[in-house]
């Protein structure tokens, strides 16, 4: 899907979970493309040597923490919902409490951020909300994590409609495994570098795309949605 493009140069952006892994790669790529300021969050943020990078605390499961973040980063036109947790494989062996905790972070967390920042994004003529999904949004076999990413995909599609009137584009990103700490245990799986992910996503955003399929695995998985459900199996 395609809408108007948004150029990064001169913009101020926020990345949840922005101090490591994909989040750090997005921050670096935004700065490389001329972003004016990038807020990066962590539960316990570390200081940055770059004055353009502003670390801020965030727990996406805590409404007060999200509200404080929106107050501290009220000038942003770009928000990346990147923070998330893995876990919960398989469903029948995962406690409801663990499943609930995963959904609280991976689904309700991005919703809390979207609700807090939507009015702020609406102050700009053009603005952007980016939600990080997964190829596992569409494939079976990843337990509560995959289910949470499938739910986030649905959330993104609804937010795209709800925010369009105020000029905020909503972008959903799907990708296979990136080479981060979260995927370290998958030693036999080919992984894409976080820098490549960030470059491809920002290229797509600047072309005006509202859905980004980062790699061949994601493109193949989306094609499978039109076929038998038995084919929707994650190859982990």
Q: Which residues are catalytic?
A: 145, 149
Determine the 3-state secondary structure of 111 from DSSP: helix
Give the pairing type, strands 12-15 and 211-213: unpaired
Q: Residue 184 and residue 48: Cα distance in Å, rounded?
A: 25
Could you give phi then psi for residue 81, rounded to 5 degrees?
A: -85, 90
Q: Which domains does the chain show, CATH number per domain?
A: 12-231 (3.40.50.720)
pTM: 0.93
Q: How much is the pLDDT for 1?
A: 46
Phi and psi of 34, rounded to 5°? 100, 15
Helix, strand or coil, per DSSP, at residue 43: coil
Q: What is the spatial distance between Cα 135 and Cα 145, in angstroms, rounded to a whole number?
A: 11
Residue 229 confidence class, pLDDT cut points 50, 70, 90: confident
**Burial 112-133, CB ≥16 within 10 A → b, else e:** bbbebbbebbeebebbbbbbbb
- pLDDT (tens digit per residue) in 22-76: 999 999 999 999 999 999 999 999 999 999 999 999 999 999 999 999 999 999 9
CA–CA separation, 154 and 175 (whole Å): 16
In which element (H, E) is residue 103 found? Answer: helix 96-103
Q: Give the number of other Cβ atoms within 10 Å of residue 148's Cβ.
A: 30
Count of C-beta atoms within a 10 Å radius of residue 213: 21
pLDDT for 52-63, tens place per residue? 999 999 999 999
């Amino acid at each position: 899907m395609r809408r108007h493009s948004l150029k990064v140069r001169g913009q101020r952006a926020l990345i949840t979970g922005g101090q490591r892994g994909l989040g750090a790669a997005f921050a670096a790529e935004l700065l490389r493309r001329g972003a004016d300021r990038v807020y990066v969050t962590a539960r316990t943020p570390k200081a940055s040597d770059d004055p353009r990078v502003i670390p801020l605390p965030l727990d996406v499961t805590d409404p007060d923490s999200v509200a404080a973040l929106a107050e501290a980063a009220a000038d942003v036109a770009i928000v990346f919902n990147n923070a998330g947790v893995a876990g919960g494989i398989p469903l029948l062996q995962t406690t409801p409490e663990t499943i609930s905790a995963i959904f609280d972070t991976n689904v309700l967390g991005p919703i809390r951020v979207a609700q807090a920042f939507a009015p702020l994004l609406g102050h700009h003529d053009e603005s952007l909300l980016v939600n990080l999904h997964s190829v596992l949004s569409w494939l079976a076999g990843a337990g509560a994590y995959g289910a949470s990413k499938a739910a986030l995909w649905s959330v993104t599609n609804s937010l795209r409609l709800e925010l369009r009137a105020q000029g905020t584009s909503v972008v959903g990103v799907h990708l296979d495994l990136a080479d981060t700490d979260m995927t370290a245990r998958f030693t036999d799986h080919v992984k894409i570098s976080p820098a490549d992910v960030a470059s491809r996503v920002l290229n797509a955003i600047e072309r005006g795309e509202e859905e980004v399929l980062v790699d061949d695995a994601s493109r193949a998985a989306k094609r499978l949605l039109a076929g038998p459900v038995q084919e929707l199996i994650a190859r982990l």
